[in-house]
Amino acid sequence: MGNDQEKQQSPSRPYPWILPSIEDWPIYKISQERDLLIEQVIDETLDHILKKNPTEKDIQVELAKAVYLEKIRVERPWKTDAPDEKTFWNSVKNALVRLESHADNKIDEEKAILRRIIHRYAHEIVGNFNKGTYQFAERFVPFAFNRLLNASHSRAFIRLFGNKKDLLKSVHLVGEIDQVRALAQKGTIVVVPTHSSNIDSITVGWGISAIGLPAMFYGAGLNLFSVRFLAYFMNRLGAYRVDRRKKNAIYLEALKTFSTQVIAKGGHSLFFPGGTRSRSNVVESQLKLGLLGTALEAQRRLILEAQEKPFTKIFVVPVTMNYGFVLEAKELIDEHLKNVGKERYFVPSDKYSSSYKILKFMYRFFTADADFTIAYGKCMDIFGNPVDMEGNSYDNNGNIIDIRDYFRSHGQLTNDNQRDSVYTKMLSEAIVVAFKKNTVALPENVVAFAAFKIFQKKHHNSDLYSVLRMAEEFRELDRAELREGVKSLIKELQRLQNKEEIRVDPIVLAEDLDTLIDYAIKKLGVYHPKRPLIKMRNGNIKCQDMKLLLFYQNRLEGYGLEKHV
């Protein structure tokens, strides 16, 4: 980008900025008043907690819970934790112990302690946005992606500074891009992607820039800030810190209040509603309602403040991240199988906890020569209703509706938390449906699905775990058998795509079956020591790792496709 007058379109960004000047971006304007935002978050969080805990005894209980949980957390610190964590929570505990000896009139001091805690949380959560850092990152990320992709083209690191392979030829942008761009100029958008890989934050961030949208506020796990390379950028690019170890009500209230505040102020936002990477690779069907609820709360505020006047509308954009190759596939599917198998397990420590490791991860991912697709679904309002290019909401009968009616009771605009929780659930259900519709059936998924289902049918008397433990001599498929399975599967996928129930990668429909199978086998599990599928000298297909094959085929679960293989 360089400066705001520089040419807006480039090979790495096919769409012009909807707002050419960064100073006009909502994230820039809001970040200019960061101190004010923090104070507003503190005041509002305190007010919410006091309303939920009206008595002195209630406040005591809430503080005691927070101290108890935080004392446990600080016994196993992370590198990203503040150095005075133990000191701070010891001081809070000691202050509460001193208050116990007071006979009465303790509530003001308890409120002061509560405010101290919220103040600490708010300063930890709220991020920043720096124009210069964004301009550098906007240049650097496409450059780095292109160089890594070019290196993969020849497998020679010396080619890193060639320019043979373009980013857009490997990262495909599809879907309702024009609608997203139009609505981002009419209201506030909340992007909700699926979550498959550690690389998601980088790729979806690039995808937002590539279609010309301003930078967004987004939640990033606190553990990622231990990677200096990432922390430098995230601290300046609108990331707010989310610490999933903190389970106490005070922290969760502060986090939700911040998200509500920035969305209500017009800040475009992004968060992964699944909460974490899909361990099975199945498209998410259970979403976390907390941050989704903040978007609804922000819409309610905007409507109540405007009363019957025009108000800013919030639009939800479902996005699917579709990979034919996931570098972490083996560890993810292992965790999933242990979990569903009811075995006791502990999530392993983050393998990507240093700058060197995250850079190595990025290099391995992008030199894997694996294509992937970012699919933008049809936009919806905060209740899950479809919207048109002008932002009008429609009911199931195709009639335009006024979403203010959702917040009315007996003709008056009202606040009703129980009602709003139902609305949040409605939104989550609409997002789940949109995720399914916008999942892209990639060649790798199609061939993996056909192969795995054939193996299952050959061992129809066995459960899933028996199939996964199948002896090596039985993990071989006749190519003609696989070809027939893929052919039948494609026919059904094409039917589902015609009904707008899934997206199918053009390669799946364009290539002849043998070319498609060879392409998928080549791409599947490029960096895995044991690959899901390999070609044998006799022409047959063999599975080296059944669990990996399960992982890649899982992307097409839930569509009833097993009946067509």
**314 sits in which H/E element:** strand 314-323
pLDDT at 5: 33
Look at the block and give the residue holding tokens 């066995």: 462
**Predicted local distance difference test score (pLDDT) of residue 225:** 76
User: Which of 307, 217, 212, 303 shows the shortest CA–CA distance to 263?
Assistant: 217
What is the strand order of the sheet 314-323 is part of?
171-175, 372-376, 314-323, 188-193, 269-270, 217-221, 239-242
The reported pLDDT for the residue numbered 348 is: 41
Note the pLDDT of residue 170. 65
| CA neighbor of 507 nearest in space, from 320, 329, 371, 375 | 371
pLDDT in the model for residue 68: 96
Q: What is the C-alpha to C-alpha distance for residues 162 and 148, in angstroms, rounded to an integer?
A: 10
pLDDT per residue over 310-337, tens digit each? 999 999 999 999 998 888 899 999 999 9
Angle at 467 between CA 464 and CA 473, to 5 degrees: 175
CA dihedral 53, 54, 58, 63 (to 10 degrees): 60
42 three-class SS: helix
φ, ψ at 318 (rounded to 5°) = -75, 135
Amino acid at 424: T
Question: What per-residue confidence (pLDDT) applies to 164?
Answer: 37
DSSP bridge pairs for 441: 504
> In whole angstroms, what separates CA 508 from the centre of its chain?
26
Neighbours of 463 (CB within 10 A): 9
The one-letter code for the residue type at 536 is M
- Phi/psi region, residue 191 (left: phi>0; alpha: psi -120 to 50; beta: rest), is beta
Where the chain has pLDDT below 70, the residues are 1-13, 103-105, 140-170, 229, 342-371, 461-462
Separation of alpha carbons 240 and 242, rounded Å: 7
pLDDT at position 34: 95
What the block records as the tokens of 221 is 């796990």
C-alpha–C-alpha distance, residues 116 and 89, integer Å = 11
Dihedral pair phi/psi, residue 270, rounded to 5°:
-140, 130
503: tokens are 């997206």
CB atoms under 10 Å from CB of 284, counted, come to 25
**β-pairing, 541-542 with 476-477?**
antiparallel
Q: Which residues pair with 373 in a beta bridge?
A: 172, 322
End-to-end Cα separation, the chain, in angstroms: 49
